[in-house]
Amino acid sequence: MTVLLQNYPVVEDAYEAYLSFNRNQQIHALNEARQCFFHDYAIDIENVIAGSKIETARNLKTIGLSLSDISKATGLSLDEIEFLF
């Protein structure tokens, strides 16, 4: 690796920063916590979207829209919609 970096000082600096980052346990722990936060946030967003689709499906059913049209409007399968009612 050292031979490859000799001609590219910018890459060598980046590689040194990478090694330094990996040696620093506090930064490593903070990065892990950050990744967990974004993972949990993404799951929360998915749950909100799913809940919104279910609520929309129920409202559309209440006004008398067909299950097929509800499926088209919400992206839920017919089985999922039938399970709701």
- CA–CA separation, 17 and 19 (whole Å): 5
CB atoms within 10 A of CB 79: 9
- Rounded to 5 degrees, what are φ and ψ at 68? -65, -45
Q: What torsion, rounded to 10 degrees, do the Cα atoms 68, 70, 76, 80 define? A: -80
Average pLDDT for the chain: 88
Q: Which residue type does 3 have?
A: V
Q: Cα Rg for the chain, rounded, in angstroms?
A: 25
Residue 4 confidence (pLDDT): 63
Residue 3 confidence (pLDDT): 66
- CA–CA separation, 70 and 40 (whole Å): 29
Q: Which residue type does 75 have?
A: G
Determine the average pLDDT of the residues in 36-63. Answer: 94
Record the tokens describing residue 7, joined without a space. Answer: 């001609």
Determine the average pLDDT of the residues in 31-37. Answer: 94
Whether the per-residue pLDDT at 1 is higher than 60: the answer is no
Whether the per-residue pLDDT at 7 is higher than 90: the answer is no
Determine the average pLDDT of the residues in 53-74. Answer: 93
Residue 20 confidence (pLDDT): 83
